[in-house]
Amino acid sequence: MLPLAASIGFKQLYRAVNPFARKRYKGDAESICEQVVNDCWKGGYFLGSAGHYSQFWARDFGLCAEALYDLGWKQECHETLSNALKVFEKGGLASTIIAGRPVNIGYYCPDSLAWLAHAVRVTKYDASGFSEFFRWHANEYFASVLDRAGLIRSDRPFSAIKGGYERESLLYNNVMTAMLSDDLTALGFRNPFEHIDFRSLISNRFWTGDSFRNDLARWETTGDANIFPYWCGVEQSQGMLERSLEVIRGLELDKPFPLMYKRGRTSYQVNTAWTNLGPVYMELVGRVDRELQSKYMRQYEELIEWHGNYLECFDAFGRPFWRFYAADEGMLWAANFLKLLKGI
């Protein structure tokens, strides 16, 4: 973990003290996104970014896998999965790979297994040779991550898409469990979760009447909690989706552009707009209001062309985030926005 932290820290420090160090790509937003994705492929794996997160990350690849596959990077997706699964099979499941070794950042990430299984499914990769890997890790997940009701345990911390370690049965991680269950069944792998009705559990425990709450300890509404249940196919109610999107707009989590996790005192993941969440939110908005989706997409196109890059996150004033940390560049997430641009 120390070499990874040192590598990321050095690269982001360089950007922090030299704001002109970012690469500028030429062309329109579509061309820039294509170039960014190509720069995230160095052979072997798709990297999380062409900047300081230049490692394979299970979450970031899984989030983009379907878009990458649909956009034509099929061979690269399959090579990524083949190499990553071999590393994880030999050295254990983790959130990232550095120098050919699996590394966990912080605590266990429930979504690592979920995004790997999802990537296998959406890229149509033949993972039959890894069925024992998925069987073992799904059983371990069932035994150590879930409580008796089938929800993420609240008595131990887990890592998640937001920074920090969550103890309060985060909705995002519960959605990951439900998606994992769906994908294991679709892939024909043994599914220890098949007897659990995750949709009812999540709806009954997290739905407040107009939105999903972030976790079981508070009634706080967050951006990620109100996009991933729908995007991952866990909740399919059009009415609930419409109400979630209305609440997001009411809390102004879509400003200065999509999407914030939450409002509050500015920090890395508070009061900051994230470009991993933005395309997910825009895709969902397109199911309800195509005109509003077009407005958001124009904002992103202008943003990408202004910076000549696909950056990680921005402050509440629309500036690249910088506060003892400099926003990364060349994010693999560009694939999800590129898919929206191409209308695929």
Edge-to-edge strand list for the sheet holding 101-103: 56-57, 96-98, 101-103
58 to 64, 96, 195, 220, 289: CA distances (angstroms):
10, 6, 26, 27, 31
Q: What is the mean pLDDT of the chain?
A: 94
pLDDT at 167: 75
Question: Mean of the pLDDT values across residues 57-66?
Answer: 98
- At residue 124, what is the residue type? K
In the predicted model, is pLDDT for residue 344 greater than 60? yes
Q: Residue 205 and residue 114: Cα distance in Å, rounded?
A: 21
Beta strand spans in the chain (E): 56-57, 96-98, 101-103, 158-159, 165-166, 273-274, 313-314
Question: Mean of the pLDDT values across residues 257-268?
Answer: 95
If you search the block for the tokens 């690469």, which residue do you land on?
23
pLDDT in tens, 157-197: 999 998 765 678 999 999 999 999 999 999 999 999 999 99
Query: What's CA 255's distance to the chain center, in Å?
Result: 20
**Lowest mean pLDDT segment, chosen from 21-25, 147-151, 172-176, 220-224:** 21-25
304 to 159, 227, 281: CA distances (angstroms):
30, 23, 17
Angle at alpha carbon of residue 165, lines to 163 and 166, rounded to 5°: 110
140 to 145, 175, 191: CA distances (angstroms):
8, 18, 12
pLDDT at 186: 98
pLDDT in tens, 36-55: 999 999 999 999 999 999 99
CATH of domain 2-342: 1.50.10.10
- Spatial contact of 64 and 333, defined as CB atoms under 8 Å apart: yes
Percent of the chain residues topping a pLDDT of 90: 88
Question: Mean of the pLDDT values across residues 219-223?
Answer: 96
If you search the block for the tokens 């605590």, which residue do you land on?
107
pLDDT confidence bin for 15, thresholds 50/70/90: low
pLDDT at 31: 98
Beta bridge partners of 212: 207
If you search the block for the tokens 């950007």, which residue do you land on?
15
pLDDT at 20: 61
Nearest CA-CA partner of 325 in 61, 78, 80, 5: 5
Q: Where are the domains of the chain?
A: 2-342
Question: Mean of the pLDDT values across residues 130-152?
Answer: 97
In the predicted model, is pLDDT for residue 7 greater than 80? no
Beta strand spans in 267-332 (E): 273-274, 313-314
In the predicted model, is pLDDT for residue 224 greater than 90? yes
Q: What is the 3-state secondary structure (H, E, C) of 53-77?
A: CCCEEHHHHHHHHHHHHHCCCHHHH
In the predicted model, is pLDDT for residue 115 greater than 60? yes
